[in-house]
Amino acid sequence: QVQLVESGGGLVQAGGSLRLSCTASGRTFSRYAMAWFRQGPGKERAFVAAISWSGGSTYYADSVKGRFTISRDNAKNTVYLQMNSLKAEDTAVYYCASPINAWAQVELGPSGYNYWGQGTQVTVSS
């Protein structure tokens, strides 16, 4: 059974930083792309960042480019999202996600992902 568990959310002032972590279990982590999505109050779930199974390719939403960095540590079965220069509009529940197929091309929409974590709240105060 695949499980994804996020951690690292919290309350931070605008301009601050947070690092989110997502640890996976239940299958061989290094074979799967990973992604972060977020859902703000009253909004649909939106793509934030993704990383290929090899870690060689990364993708970002325009709204976070230059501020957020996605990375993975296959030895720890963990994907990270380093968030710098946070803004009030980054406030959301952040979810990590992974597709069902190994070695799959990275998808930028939520329909490309079958496994989701429970989410971690990030609140940025202005």
Task: Assess contact for 97 and 110: CB atoms under 8 A.
Answer: yes
Predicted confidence (pLDDT) at residue 13 exceeds the cutoff of 90: yes
Mapped onto helix, strand or coil, the DSSP state of residue 38 is: strand
- Mean predicted confidence (pLDDT) in 114-121: 97
- The first and second tokens of residue 29, run together, are 């982590």
Is the pLDDT at 111 greater than 90? The verdict is yes
Could you tell me if 45 and 110 are in contact, meaning their C-beta atoms sit under 8 angstroms apart?
yes
The stretch 62-84 carries a mean pLDDT of 98
User: For a pLDDT cut of 90, what percent of the chain falls above it?
Assistant: 96
**Region 29-35 average pLDDT:** 97
Work out whether strand 120-125 and strand 115-116 pair parallel, antiparallel, or are unpaired.
unpaired
Q: Which pLDDT score is estimated for 104?
A: 86
In 59-100, alpha helices (H): none
